[in-house]
């Protein structure tokens, strides 16, 4: 059976439903994983009173709307983030099916199309969990970052990427953060500028999309992070740490005060290596903002827009090194490649660029 034998509308509906269901599961992961709780047991319970949540109250999005944002057991308010995460899971699933699966050749075997969907879908759900865990705890669990990197390496042939390119991309992604933003920053400022969780997350981007994915994730993530920080400063006047991070620091400080001698020194040395233990300064340059969510969002954007932006960048570099007289051939080659791969709309910027150059 091949992909073209199934109606696209049917596949999109199935994808949307699957995305909503796993978006609901993502809420469980976001809450339980950083707390070290079992993801499968016990069944979902109300965070306010601990009562089991009824199955029909747990229907993605609709359950929250039916309950009008309040728990059915104790009427405690339910954060709108719960349906938002479910919707994001559904939207990601629809995007993967529409752009990355339905654009495959019609004679693609259905099992292969299903594996492509499953791989990209798992990437999105995993990074969705990583985004909100990092926002809440400034923590990127290895099970999400390293697990996602392993999935990227294993699925590389399925997605048309060489295993060597995937492995090299993962290595470059990790080393860039570890060398420049951890070790070098530590030498210059006395504390690491980023955590190793960010290095593992960038390794994930490299494992999935090679070195161009690393470049795009780092640059686009930096832009998104800067704009978000500026917007937060304008709206609130400061960048605030998550409450869980503040509480954990206070608990560690109390534990440190209770120790004496070698135990105290050993714990103090360990905490000195943790960038979150030191309280952030008051200036903009010393404010603390979780960078993982922006790296994750940029990584998810790459298969949709990053490839074309990188192609444009490389084209401009070739034009600068080869000279304007070679522009028609180079841009024609790029337009043909883009139009053949993803459609004329994606090739339009290069098409316009080609004719503008031809008018010079």
Lowest mean pLDDT, pick from 27-36, 39-48, 97-106, 197-206: 39-48
In this structure, the number of other CB atoms found within 10 A of the CB of residue 63 comes to 20
Is the Cβ–Cβ distance between 89 and 121 less than 8 Å? no
Mean pLDDT of 5-18: 96
Asked if pLDDT for residue 331 goes beyond 80, the answer is: no
pLDDT of residue 254: 82
Structure tokens at 214: 């690393």
Mean pLDDT of 307-331: 62
Question: Residue 230, exposed/middle/buried by CB under 10 A (0-12, 13-18, 19+)?
Answer: exposed
Tell me what the pLDDT averaged over the chain comes to: 83
How far lies 199's CA from each of 153, 196, 205, 211, 336, in Å?
Answer: 16, 5, 10, 14, 36
φ, ψ dihedrals at 333, nearest 5°: -65, -45
Lowest mean pLDDT, pick from 87-91, 112-116, 172-176, 333-337: 333-337
Mean pLDDT of 101-114: 94
Is residue 328 very low, low, confident or very high in pLDDT (cuts 50, 70, 90)? low
Q: Which residue ranges make up each domain of the chain?
A: 1-137, 243-279, 301-358
Asked if pLDDT for residue 351 goes beyond 50, the answer is: no
Question: Residue 241, exposed/middle/buried by CB under 10 A (0-12, 13-18, 19+)?
Answer: middle
Question: Can you tell me whether residue 280 is helix, strand or coil?
Answer: coil
pLDDT of residue 258: 80
Is residue 265 very low, low, confident or very high in pLDDT (cuts 50, 70, 90)? confident
Is the Cβ–Cβ distance between 49 and 71 less than 8 Å? yes
Mean pLDDT of 327-347: 44
pLDDT of residue 357: 42
Asked if pLDDT for residue 284 goes beyond 60, the answer is: no
Asked if pLDDT for residue 102 goes beyond 60, the answer is: yes
How many CA atoms within 13 Å lie on the side-chain side of 331? Answer: 21
CA distance 25 to 232: 30
pLDDT of residue 344: 36
pLDDT digits 0-9 by tens, 155-206: 999 999 999 999 999 999 999 999 988 888 878 877 777 888 999 999 999 9
pLDDT of residue 117: 97
Mean pLDDT of 329-355: 44
pLDDT of residue 319: 61
Question: Residue 214, exposed/middle/buried by CB under 10 A (0-12, 13-18, 19+)?
Answer: buried
Mean pLDDT of 145-153: 97
Classify the C-alpha dihedral 88-97-95-208 as positive or negative: positive
Mean pLDDT of 107-131: 96
Q: What is the pTM of this model?
A: 0.82
How many CA atoms within 13 Å lie on the side-chain side of 114? Answer: 8
For residue 45, the cross-strand partners are 52
């Amino acid at each position: 059976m091949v992909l073209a034998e199934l109606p696209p509308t049917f596949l999109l509906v199935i994808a949307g439903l699957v995305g909503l269901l796993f978006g609901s599961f993502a809420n469980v992961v976001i809450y339980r994983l950083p707390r070290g709780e079992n993801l499968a047991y016990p069944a979902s319970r109300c965070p306010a009173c601990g009562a089991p949540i009824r199955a029909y109250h747990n229907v993605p999005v609709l359950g929250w709307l039916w309950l009008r944002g309040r728990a059915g057991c104790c009427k405690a308010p339910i954060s709108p983030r719960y349906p938002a995460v479910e919707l994001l899971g559904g939207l990601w699933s629809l995007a993967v099916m529409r752009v990355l699966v339905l654009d495959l050749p019609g004679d693609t075997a259905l099992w292969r199309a299903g594996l492509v969907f499953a791989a990209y879908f798992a990437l999105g759900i995993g990074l969705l969990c990583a985004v909100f865990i990092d926002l809440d705890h400034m923590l990127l669990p290895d099970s999400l970052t390293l697990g996602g990197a392993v999935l990227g390496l294993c699925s590389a042939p399925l997605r048309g990427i060489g295993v060597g390119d995937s492995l090299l991309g993962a290595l470059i992604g990790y080393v860039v953060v570890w060398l420049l933003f951890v070790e070098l920053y530590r030498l210059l400022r006395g504390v690491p500028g980023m955590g190793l969780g960010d290095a593992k997350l960038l390794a994930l981007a490299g494992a999935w999309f090679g070195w161009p994915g690393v470049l795009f994730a780092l640059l686009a993530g930096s832009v998104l992070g800067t704009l978000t920080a500026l917007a937060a400063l304008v709206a609130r006047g400061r960048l605030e740490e998550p409450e869980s991070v503040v509480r954990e620091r206070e608990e560690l400080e109390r534990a440190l005060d209770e120790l004496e001698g070698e135990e105290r020194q050993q714990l103090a040395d360990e905490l000195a290596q943790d960038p979150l233990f030191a309280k952030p300064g008051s200036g903009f340059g010393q404010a603390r903002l979780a960078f993982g969510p922006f790296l994750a969002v940029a990584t998810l954007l790459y298969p949709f827009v990053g490839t074309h932006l990188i192609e444009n960048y490389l084209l401009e570099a070739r034009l600068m090194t080869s000279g304007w007289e070679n522009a028609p051939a180079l841009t024609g080659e790029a337009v043909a490649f883009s139009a053949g791969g993803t459609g004329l709309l994606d090739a339009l910027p290069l098409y316009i660029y080609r004719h503008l150059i031809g008018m010079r």
